[in-house]
Amino acid sequence: MHIVSAYDEDLKFLTGRVAAMGGMAERMIENSISALVHNDAPLAQKVIAADDELDAAQREIDDRALAVIARRQPLADDLREIIGTIRISSDLERVGDLAKNIAKRAIAVAASRQPVRLFRGLQSLAELASTQLKDVLDVYASREVSRLGAVRDRDYEIDSVYTSLFRELLTYMMEDPRNITPCTHLLFCAKNIERMGDHATNVAETIYYVATAEQLPAERPKRDRSHDVTLDAEE
């Protein structure tokens, strides 16, 4: 095979594997939340097992990317592309870890069912994070970087919903001490989802850099105010 053609195949392989990782991460998010909401332990176990596949995909991308750098010594656009695949696969692997953590907590809270309204809040938060990730991956495939600013800025919606849910869970814990253990698990689930949005935003920033050789502004909108939430007994 001609050296240029082989090089193109290497790059095509890397972008294809990143896209496949993105699909796996999206399914893990959806399944982990479904397992939590519907008290589905077998589905939770499926998510936990799927994390091994996602980890393996990341290692494969890392190994292939480093081999390409060593063999081809790429410059400029090609080097950014390869480094970008390494960074994006790392963020997607972390999304998988967070989904796995939710699946583990779904099993932990299975014995004590919580009000549907709390799960609705988690579902809404997860839908925002999942949409954020899907939109970012669509841009990765299309390279329509003009969409990335809006995608990145939407992270504030996730932060706002997370802060609201944080307050709601604290209130529920104060109403009945028996709720403390299950609601603590749900608080961790909510934080995991909020972090998924952060990783999706990281991916957006990497795609922009790969496509333009420029960095998006360092300051991103943040509305996670959970550290300011305080409740007194009267509330």
Spatial neighbors of 39 by CB under 8 A, at least 6 apart, are 106, 110, 113
CA-closest candidate to residue 192, choices 108, 111, 114, 100: 100
- Sign (positive or negative) of CA dihedral 78, 84, 86, 92: negative
pLDDT, average across residues 38-59: 96
Q: What is the pLDDT of residue 84?
A: 96
% of the chain surpassing 70 pLDDT: 89
Asked whether the predicted pLDDT for residue 2 surpasses 50, the reply is: no
Q: What is the pLDDT of residue 111?
A: 72
Span 10-15, mean pLDDT?
A: 93
Instruction: Say which amino acid occupies 127.
Output: E
CB 207 within 8 A of CB 136: yes
Is the pLDDT reported for residue 223 higher than 80?
Answer: no
d(CA 129, CA 203) in angstroms, rounded, equals 13
Task: Indicate if the alpha-carbon torsion angle 142, 144, 148, 154 is positive or negative.
Answer: negative
Residues in the chain: 235
* Eight-state DSSP code of residue 147: G
Position 167 pLDDT exceeds 70: yes
- Rounded CA separation 121/91 (Å): 24
Superfamily of domain 3-228: Phosphate transport system protein phou homolog 2; domain 2 (1.20.58.220)
Most confident of 129-138, 140-149, 214-223: 129-138
In this structure, are residues 155 and 197 in contact, taking their beta carbons and an 8 Å threshold? yes
Q: With contact defined as beta carbons under 8 Å apart, do 221 and 201 qualify?
A: no
More confident residue, 34 or 2: 34
**CA distance linking residue 136 with residue 151, whole number of Å:** 7
pLDDT digits (tens, 9 = 90+) for 54-109: 999 999 999 999 999 999 888 888 999 999 999 999 999 999 999 999 999 999 88
What's the rounded mean pLDDT across residues 110-116? 71
Residue keyed to tokens 């802060």:
163
On whether the CB atoms of residues 200 and 137 are closer than 8 A, the answer is no
Neighbour count for residue 179 (Cβ, 10 Å) = 19
Average pLDDT, integer, range 28-38: 95
Q: Which two tokens stand for residue 61?
A: 């991308």
Give the per-residue pLDDT at 117: 72
Q: Tally Cβ neighbours within 10 Å of residue 122.
A: 21
pTM over 0.85: yes
Q: What is the 3-state secondary structure (H, E, C) of 83-109?
A: HHHHHHHHHHHHHHHHHHHHHHHHHHC
What's the mean per-residue pLDDT of the chain? 89
Task: Name the least confident of 2-16, 18-32, 147-161.
Answer: 2-16
Which residue shows structure tokens 């990730």? 133
**pLDDT, tens digit (0-9, with 9 covering 90-100), for 136-150:** 999 999 999 988 888
Q: Which two tokens stand for residue 184?
A: 């603590």
